[in-house]
Amino acid sequence: MKIEEQEYNFDESNTNLKENNIINFREDDKDPQQYFCTKILIIIILYIIYNKITSFQELHKYCSICAKKLNSKCRKCNNEILFQDLNVISTEETLNEIIEYNKSISRFGDGEYFIIYGNGIKFQEYNITLAKRLFEIIRNNNEDKNLLVGIYFPYKKKELNLYRESEIQYWTKFFKYDRIKLLRILDLNKTYYSSDITRFYHKYKNKSHIPDYIKKLKKIWEKRDILIVKGEKTRMGIGNDLFNNSKSIKRIICPAKHAFRVYDKILNAVLTVDKNILVLISLGPTATVLACDLSKLGYQALDIGHMDIQYELFLRNATDMIQIPYKFVNEYNGGKNESVEEIKDENYYNQIIYKIF
């Protein structure tokens, strides 16, 4: 499904109204002064309408040609510059908001954008309800003051230059071909936060800051009870010490693919736990919606995506995506490594409170 906004196209031909169609006086009844005033009044009305329409277009920061034809290059406006007005809070400040004020976060990356455009991705088929929910969340991020909406795409070159060459190539291409679609999705007048809080290792050239960053990241769940809602083979925190500073861990196991099919079951399972528990979700686009709904219901819920895999790569000093024992790594080998080893850790199975398939 394509998310389309109502278009307002001012037709200049409307200004060429014939005088005898505007007002029909008999020849002998015409009052020259009244006739002149009527023309002036009509011109003023048309001018007000025109300004209303052009103001609408300026407010939404793209021209009617871009909106209609989705041109990536438009002679009428330099749409690339429009992104400079987009306010995205830094990764560090986003993390501070979560730690200091117990904020929740819903995150948007390329996968969420693709679903809004009307496409499916590897592990989540297209679903019209999911697309609508994602669009509502990214456009209405101020409805819930406890929810941060995290986005990412590198529209500022100084940020992009911090990344590895493969990341630069991917996101440069993504931005080149999709920036007009993004203009139709994002609200350039809103404040967004960084979705990069969980992708802290793999994409960076210089990794010297990462140990300190991880120490700060772990403060989110320090001495807290946590509930991990995840895909079947994610196995977050198993085989590493990522959550060793938490008070306790519970798990809800969900389908590895197309989790939104059973969204209501997942939500209802989470609602059985106390609201003081911290909910960490790794379920692709479904996590984006679930974090939003849980935040509205009084939970602190974080869409944490690939955080555990990033931590595994850090522990191994990996220079690229690799297979991790017992865990499905979607971005390794094109997502074809689904046949991972069965886990033998009894503690892991004891933490599971629900399985949803």
pLDDT digit string, tens, across residues 104-116: 999 999 999 999 9
Residues 119, 248, single domain; the answer is yes
Distance CA 338, CA 349 (A): 20
Contact residues for 188 (Cβ-Cβ < 8 A; gap 6+): 60, 61, 82, 83, 85, 86
Q: What is the pLDDT of residue 22?
A: 35
- Residue 342 inside a domain? The answer is yes
Whether 112 and 39 share a structural domain: no
Regarding whether 97 and 228 lie in a shared domain, the answer is yes
- 273: Cβ contacts below 8 Å, ≥ 6 apart: 227, 250, 279, 353
270 and 177 part of one domain: yes
Residue 69 lies in a domain: no
Query: pLDDT > 90: what percent of the chain?
Result: 47
Same domain for 228 and 138: yes
Residues 49 and 101 in one domain: no
Note the helical H segments in 140-228: 157-160, 165-185, 210-217
350 domain-assigned: yes
Average pLDDT over residues 150-169: 77
Contact 179, 72 (CB under 8 A): yes
308-352 pLDDT tens trace: 999 999 999 998 888 888 787 776 655 555 567 788 889 999 999
Domain holding 49, by residue range, is: 17-59
Structurally, the chain folds into a number of domains equal to: 2
| Overall average pLDDT of the 145-162 stretch | 79
* Any domain includes 64: no
| Same domain, yes or no: 49 and 97 | no
Is residue 53 located within the same domain as residue 194?
no
Same domain, 255 and 308: yes
**Residue 8 in tokens:** 């307002």
Render pLDDT for 197-226 as a digit per residue (tens, 0 to 9): 999 998 888 899 999 999 999 999 999 999
pLDDT of residue 14: 44
Taking 50 as the threshold, does the pLDDT of residue 102 lie above it? yes
In a domain, 73, yes or no: no
pLDDT attached to residue 2? 42
Q: How confident is the model at residue 10 (pLDDT cuts 50, 70, 90)?
A: very low
**pTM for the structure as a whole:** 0.78
> What are the strands, taking DSSP E only, across the chain?
87-88, 104-107, 147-151, 191-194, 225-231, 248-254, 278-282, 300-303, 352-355
d(CA 240, CA 324): 11
